[in-house]
């Protein structure tokens, strides 16, 4: 008998096209879109070689031309020439920490450089001379790197001067080589897992899918209340015990919804290769509890909000959507902002608790944070379950 | 014009939804505008990378000089003193770099031994990491060379040298001939791309629902019995649809102009407006098509969400096209929204107006008109069949 009820209910559920769309089709579509959109956005690409242009200063050019025509190279010309060569060489030989050249230098005149800057072909151009200056279009990291490089070039020159004052023989001891040979003073420690902020989107999305069970839970309690639906009224006069029927229906709802979660999860892990860490049983536990608490949220709304079905379903959807927003599904920094500024909120938001469970499984070595989340979720589910039961029990209708 | 009037009567029921989407859109726009304004100062400022410094070596003169130097290139963030909090800060990009000075570093470094600082970095922020790396390396290399050639130095002398070096910073000049135009263009290409998303949602929600009401079988049959001719009926519907599109576009184009902090009316803005109009025609035809083929309000709701999100993500309305993979873009080129976004992006990058620059923009608009024609053809075929069924 119980199995018959379960089977019938399951059939009903799978004929509800709307629920099937929002629980089965929509998450799959959304996660695919996330994948396409974010795949390249935050991918761990290396810094690219920075395109810059080098322009001789006007006076410098005039002087060189002058020098060439007159064939009289003064000491100062010589020095400027050397300076320029040094800067050019240093720009050319600068390397990034991964060994690629830092700059791609284009030697040109000032008009051409200005045009290239305008079109974003180069990040900056350097006008050489006794004190070189940097021209940029906007503030940014590449511009900062160029400036910091020029600073260090100036420093190098100053270092040579001040060392030579004290130790005139330094040049013969290889001072210039030492200046040019920059050593790296940092070494990277790698943890097992990379901090990858994109995962927050996927985790929040999966948590949202779990909590979407709210719509299924809502359906179940609506269908069992005599004053809500005709079917509820018919069930009320049937000889089946209400609690038994409710449990069976909830179980059917859970089965139907868990199917969607399993599908999305398999698709995310196998199809899209999203990293959930290596604790599959824990992961499934978090999904199951997320789905259960979702059902109870729907049940509470269905029992205690005395409004039309449209309004009830709008309320459950908004609760889930706002919860997803606060756990970073639309704007990834949100989760962290909440955790820092309003920590309470992150402990009562079920979507965040579920997505944080995924996150702690992936990112932390121990399970303490995971279990904390799970315990809070279990307590919340029990409380919600009791609240919805209190509204359902011992209902009698004189006339409907 | 009874049909025309009824159109807007039915539309009224969708008004709450349309207004809600509008408000959401404007709010997000204002938020983004705030970020754009904050970033666009006219003077050069070093982009200081947020880092977390963990000093296990204790305070001393050398470290103090080093950190005050680093302060020019990085922003030191305060993070709670626990391993979890640090890892969270790195994960959520609150800091891009965790620098640890190991115990005894100063002593080893000053005695000329090779030693390294320990870093934890964000692999997706390599430019920021490089910027910090080079700042650190520059400083320590200078110190290293100084130590090597001044064997009998003392620490005070060294820090004094490092502090005074360089005498003058490199001069950085921002060339901002067309800075205002650039800011306006940046805002516009963001605004109009996002508007493309909102337009799909609102048009499908609004137009499709109304069209659905008009094309129910019974309504159709009753309409045939009425004295309004079929031609007049359709003309009034087309007129009402165009009216809706025009009002919608005027509202959002004016709002887009008003909320733009760098507002200026130039040829680019007019091109943007023309582009939204062309795009609106495409979306109108698609909504019309949905309205007469799909049955059920819930299905329209689902379609409007799925279609708008799908087109927005694939065509680069949320994430700029340059960040999308080439395969995604190839698929997206079968969507009208892709060409709308491309036209917007091209308009945004125009620096001078001549035939050669404008040709691609016109081409992208022509492609959109092509899409509109295709969907219009679909609409005509389906409408004809429906008419046959009704009579």
How far is it, in rounded angstroms, from Cα A392 to Cα A389? 5
Q: Please give the C-alpha separations between residue A359 and each of A199, A265, A327, in angstroms, as whole numbers.
A: 8, 15, 11
In DSSP terms, A52 is beta-bridged to A105, A124
Task: List, edge to edge, every strand of the sheet that includes B49-55.
Answer: A186-188, B117-121, B97-101, B49-55, B74-76
Shortest CA gap B256–chain A (Å): 23
The torsion of the CA quartet B234, B239, B240, B242, rounded to 10 degrees, works out to: 130
d(CA A118, CA B350): 11
Chain B contact for A140, CB < 8 A? yes
Contact A144 B319 (CB under 8 A): no
Listed residues A117, A147, A180: the one ending a domain: A180
A142 to chain B nearest CA, in Å?
Answer: 7
Q: A50: which DSSP letter?
A: E
Q: Is A41 on the interface with B (CB under 8 A)?
A: yes
Residue B76 has what DSSP assignment? Answer: E
A117 in B contact zone (CB under 8 Å)? yes
- A304 in contact with B at a CB cutoff of 8 Å? no
A203 neighbourhood in chain B, CB within 8 Å = none
Q: How many CB atoms lie within 10 A of CB A90?
A: 18
**A250 in a domain, yes or no?**
yes
What per-residue confidence (pLDDT) applies to A292?
96
**Both A263 and A387 in a single domain?**
yes
Closest-approach residue (CA) in chain B for A187: B118
Given this model, what pLDDT does residue A110 score? Answer: 83
Check A133 against B173: CB less than 8 A apart.
Answer: yes
Q: With a cut of 50, which residues of chain B have pLDDT below it?
A: none
SS3 content of chain B, % helix, strand, coil (to 5): 70, 5, 25
Using DSSP, state whether B75 is helix, strand or coil: strand
Partner residue facing B313 (CB), from A33, A149, A150? A33
Averaged pLDDT, A119-134 = 81
Judge contact between B200 and B337, C-beta under 8 A.
yes
CA distance A315 to A327: 18
Q: Are residues A169 and A213 in the same domain?
A: no
Q: What is the pLDDT of residues B240-281, one digit of tens each?
A: 999 999 999 999 999 888 888 878 888 889 999 999 999 999
- Contact of A29 with chain B, judged by CB distance below 8 Å, is answered with yes
Yes or no: say if B379 and B288 are a contact pair by the CB < 8 Å rule: yes
CB A212 within 8 A of CB B144: no
Q: How far is CA B319 from CA A34, A76, B306, B332, B340, in A?
A: 10, 54, 17, 13, 14
Contact between residue B119 and residue B86 where contact means Cβ atoms under 8 Å apart: no
Does one domain contain both A131 and A73?
yes
Is residue A192 domain-resident?
no
- Contacts with B388 (C-beta within 8 Å, 6 or more apart), sequence order: none
What is the average pLDDT across A255-283? 93
Q: Are residues A230 and A155 part of one domain?
A: no
- State the architecture of B49-164 in CATH terms: 3-Layer(aba) Sandwich (3.40)
Query: Is A364 in the same domain as A323?
Result: yes
Question: Which residues in chain B have their CB less than 8 angstroms from residue A51's CB?
Answer: none
Nearest to B170 among A18, A26, A154 (CB): A154
Asked if A142 is an interface residue toward chain B (Cβ–Cβ < 8 A), one would say: yes
A75 interfaces chain B, CB cutoff of 8 Å: no
Q: Is residue A113 part of a domain?
A: yes
**Residue A211 has what pLDDT?**
95
Can you give the pLDDT at residue B38?
A: 56
Place of tokens 């719509």: A215
Strand bridging mode B171-174 / A133-136: parallel
Residue A354 sits in the same domain as residue A292: yes
Domain count, chain A: 2
pLDDT band at A44 (very low <50, low <70, confident <90, very high): very low
Q: Give CA–CA dist B268/B256, Å, rounded.
A: 14
The pLDDT value recorded for residue A71 is 47
Domain boundary among A180, A211, A241: A180
Half-sphere exposure at residue A192, Cβ-oriented, CA atoms within 13 angstroms? 8
B45 to chain A: closest CA residue: A139
Cβ distance A139 to B90 less than 8 Å, yes or no, reads: no
- pLDDT greater than 60 at residue A46: no
Give the residue on A whose Cα is nearest the Cα of B316.
A37
Find out whether A105 and A50 touch, Cβ atoms under 8 Å: no
What residues contact residue A108 under an 8 Å CB cut-off, 6+ apart?
A53, A54, A55, A116
CA-nearest residue of chain A to B132?
A145
Residue A357 inside a domain? The answer is yes
Cα B174 from Cα A123, distance rounded (Å): 11
Parallel, antiparallel, or unpaired: how do β-strands B117-121 and A124-127 relate?
unpaired
Same-domain check for residues A172 and A95: yes
Contact A179 B145 (CB under 8 A): yes
pLDDT tens digits along A301-340: 999 998 888 888 888 988 998 899 888 887 777 887 788 7
Mutate to test the interface with B, among A54, A151, A337 (most CBs of B within 10 A): A151
CA distance B175 to B185: 17
Residue B251's CB is within 10 A of a number of other CB atoms, namely: 11
User: Do A116 and A100 reside in the same domain of the chain?
Assistant: yes
Higher-confidence position of A280 and B43: A280
Which of A41, A162, A184 has the CB atom closest to B323's CB atom? A41
* Residue A213 Cα, gap to closest chain B Cα (Å): 17
CA A159 → CA A183, B151, B298, distances in Å?
A: 16, 15, 74
With 80 as the cut, is the pLDDT of residue A33 above it? yes
Q: What is the pLDDT of residue A358?
A: 94
Minimal Cβ distance to B298: which of A18, A132, A182: A18
Per-residue model confidence (pLDDT) at position A356: 93
Measured distance CA(A299)–CA(B141) in Å, rounded:
66
* Domain extent listing, chain B: 2-38+178-390, 49-164
Contacts with A156 from chain B: Cβ below 8 Å: 142
**What pLDDT is recorded for position A72?**
44
Task: Collect all residues with Cβ–Cβ distance below 8 Å to B130 and sequence separation of at least 6.
Answer: A47, A96, A97, A145
B172 and A135: CB-CB below 8 Å? Answer: yes
What is the rounded CA–CA span in Å between residue A389 and residue A387? 5
Instruction: Give the per-residue pLDDT at B390.
Output: 73
Write down the pTM of the prediction: 0.77
B246 vs B253: CA distance, rounded Å: 10
Cβ–Cβ of B141/A135 closer than 8 Å?
Answer: no
Contact A148 B176 (CB under 8 A): no
Which residue, A201, A238, A211, A212, is CA-closest to A223?
A238
DSSP B281-334: HHHHHHHHHHHHH--SHHHHHHHHHHHHHHHHHHHTSSS-GGGS-HHHHHHHTT
A194 at B interface, C-beta within 8 A: yes
- Does any domain span residue A152? yes
Position A185 in a domain: no
Q: Does A278 touch chain B (CB under 8 A)?
A: no
pLDDT attached to residue A98 = 67
Backbone angles phi, psi at B82, to 5 degrees: -145, 155
The CA-atom distances, in angstroms, between A223 and each of A217, A233, A314 are: 10, 9, 17
User: Which of chain B's residues have a Cβ under 8 Å away from the Cβ of A97?
Assistant: 130, 133
Please answer yes or no on whether A195 and B142 come within 8 Å at the CB atom: no
Nearest chain B residue to A136 by CA distance is B174
Q: CA A247 to CA A230: how far, in whole Å? A: 20
What angle is formed at CA A135 by the lines to CA A130 and CA A140, rounded to 5 degrees?
Answer: 130
Q: Residue A197 — very low, low, confident or very high, per pLDDT cuts 50/70/90?
A: confident
Cα–Cα distance between B158 and B147 in angstroms, integer?
A: 8
Final residue before a domain boundary, out of A119, A149, A180: A180
Are A89 and A159 a contacting pair, CB within 8 Å? no
DSSP-assigned letters across all residues of B220-245: HHHHHHSSS-HHHHHHHHHHHHHHHH
Closest chain B C-alpha to A363 CA, distance in angstroms: 9
Q: How far is B350 from chain A (nearest CA, A)?
A: 10
Looking at the structure, tell me whether residues A234 and A310 fall in a common domain.
Answer: yes
Q: Do A140 and B47 touch (CB under 8 A)?
A: yes
Cβ proximity of B97 and B113 under 8 Å = no
Judging contacts by C-beta atoms under 8 Å, the chain B residues touching residue A148 are 46, 73, 131, 134-135, 138
| Same domain (yes/no): A275, A352 | yes
State whether residue A131 sits within 8 Å of chain B by CB: yes
The pLDDT > 90 percentage for chain A reads 32
> Regarding predicted confidence, which is higher, A98 or A251?
A251
pLDDT at A61: 52
DSSP 3-state assignment of A240? Answer: coil
| Distance separating the N- and C-terminal Cα atoms of chain B | 24
Task: State how far the Cα of A257 lies from the Cα of A244, in Å rounded to an integer.
Answer: 20
Q: Is residue A195 part of a domain?
A: no
Distance CA A151, CA B88 (A): 34
Return d(Cα A227, Cα A400) in angstroms, integer.
7
- A344, burial (CB in 10 Å: exposed 0-12, middle 13-18, buried 19+): exposed
Helices (H) and strands (E) in chain B, counts: 15, 5
Full domain range(s) for residue A301: 2-42+200-392
Would you call A367 an interface residue with chain B, using a CB distance cutoff of 8 Å? no
User: Measured between CB atoms, does A21 come within 8 Å of chain B?
Assistant: yes
A277 in the same domain as A172: no
Which residues in A lie closer than 8 A to residue B117 (C-beta atoms)?
Answer: 185-187
């Amino acid at each position: 008998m119980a199995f018959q009820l379960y089977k019938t209910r399951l059939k009903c559920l799978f004929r509800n096209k709307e629920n099937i769309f929002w629980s089965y089709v929509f998450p799959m579509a959304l996660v695919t879109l996330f994948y396409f959109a974010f795949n390249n956005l935050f991918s761990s690409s290396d810094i690219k070689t920075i395109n810059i242009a080098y322009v001789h200063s006007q006076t410098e050019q005039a002087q060189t031309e002058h020098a060439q025509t007159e064939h009289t190279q003064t000491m100062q010309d010589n020095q400027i020439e050397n300076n320029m060569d040094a800067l050019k060489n240093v720009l050319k030989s600068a390397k990034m920490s991964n060994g690629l050249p830092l700059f791609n230098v284009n030697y040109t005149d000032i008009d051409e450089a200005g045009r290239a800057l305008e079109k974003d072909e180069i990040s900056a151009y350097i006008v050489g001379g006794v004190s070189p200056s940097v021209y940029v279009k906007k503030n940014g990291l590449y511009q900062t790197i160029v400036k910091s490089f020029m600073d260090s070039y100036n420093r190098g020159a100053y270092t040579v001067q001040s060392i030579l004052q004290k130790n005139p023989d330094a040049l013969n001891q290889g001072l210039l080589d030492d200046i040019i040979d920059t050593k790296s003073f940092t070494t990277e420690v790698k943890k097992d897992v990379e901090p990858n902020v994109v995962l927050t989107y996927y985790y929040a999305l999966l948590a949202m899918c779990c909590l979407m069970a709210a719509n299924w839970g809502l359906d179940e309690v609506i269908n069992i209340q005599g004053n809500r639906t005709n079917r509820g009224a018919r069930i009320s006069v049937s000889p089946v015990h209400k609690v038994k029927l409710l449990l069976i229906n909830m179980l059917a709802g859970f089965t139907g919804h868990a199917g969607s979660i399993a599908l999305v999860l398999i698709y995310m892990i196998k199809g899209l290769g999203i990293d959930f860490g290596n604790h599959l049983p824990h992961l499934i536990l978090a999904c199951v509890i997320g789905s259960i608490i979702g059902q109870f949220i729907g049940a509470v709304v269905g029992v205690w909000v005395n409004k039309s079905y449209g309004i009830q379903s709008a309320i459950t959807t908004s609760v889930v959507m706002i919860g997803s927003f606060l756990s970073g599904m639309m704007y990834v920094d949100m989760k962290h902002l909440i955790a820092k500024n309003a920590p309470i909120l992150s402990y009562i938001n079920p979507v965040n608790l579920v997505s944080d469970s995924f996150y702690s499984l992936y990112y932390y070595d121990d399970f303490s944070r995971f279990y904390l989340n799970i315990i809070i979720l279990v307590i919340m589910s029990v409380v919600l379950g009791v609240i919805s039961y209190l509204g359902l029990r011992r209902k009698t209708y004189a006339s409907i | 014009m009874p049909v025309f009037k009824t159109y807007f009567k039915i539309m009224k029921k969708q008004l709450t939804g349309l207004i809600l989407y509008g408000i959401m859109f404007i709010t997000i726009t204002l938020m983004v505008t705030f970020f754009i304004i904050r970033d666009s100062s006219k003077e050069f400022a070093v982009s200081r990378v947020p880092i977390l410094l963990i000093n296990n070596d204790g305070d001393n003169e050398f470290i103090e000089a080093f950190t005050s130097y680093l302060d020019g290139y990085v922003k030191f963030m305060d993070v709670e003193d626990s391993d979890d909090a640090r890892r969270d800060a790195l994960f959520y990009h609150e800091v891009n770099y965790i620098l640890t000075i190991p115990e005894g570093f100063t002593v080893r470094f000053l005695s000329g031994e090779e030693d390294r600082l320990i870093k934890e970095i964000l692999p997706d922020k390599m430019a920021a990491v490089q910027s910090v790396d080079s700042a650190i390396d520059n400083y320590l290399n200078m110190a290293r060379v100084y130590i090597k050639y001044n064997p009998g130095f003392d620490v005070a002398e060294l820090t004094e040298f490092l502090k005074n070096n360089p005498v003058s910073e490199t001069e950085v000049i921002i060339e901002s001939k067309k800075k205002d135009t650039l800011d306006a263009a940046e805002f516009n290409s963001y605004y109009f791309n996002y508007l493309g998303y909102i337009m799909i949602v609102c048009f499908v929600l609004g137009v499709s629902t109304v069209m659905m009401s008009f094309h129910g079988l019974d309504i159709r049959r009753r309409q045939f019995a009425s004295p309004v001719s079929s031609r007049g009926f359709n003309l009034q519907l087309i007129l009402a649809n165009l009216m809706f599109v025009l009002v919608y576009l005027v509202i959002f184009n004016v709002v887009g102009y008003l909320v733009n902090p760098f507002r200026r009316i130039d040829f680019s803005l007019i091109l943007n407006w023309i582009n939204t109009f062309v795009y609106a025609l495409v979306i109108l035809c698609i909504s019309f098509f949905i309205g007469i083929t799909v049955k059920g309000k819930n299905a329209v709701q689902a379609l409007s969400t799925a279609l708008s999100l799908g087109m927005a993500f694939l065509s680069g309305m949320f994430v700029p096209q340059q960040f999308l993979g080439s395969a995604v873009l190839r698929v997206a080129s079968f969507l009208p929204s892709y060409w709308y976004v491309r036209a917007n992006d091209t308009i945004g990058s125009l620096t001078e107006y001549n035939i050669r620059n404008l040709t691609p923009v016109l081409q992208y608009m022509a492609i959109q008109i092509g899409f509109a024609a295709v969907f219009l053809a679909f609409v005509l075929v389906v409408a004809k069949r429906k008419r046959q069924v009704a009579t």
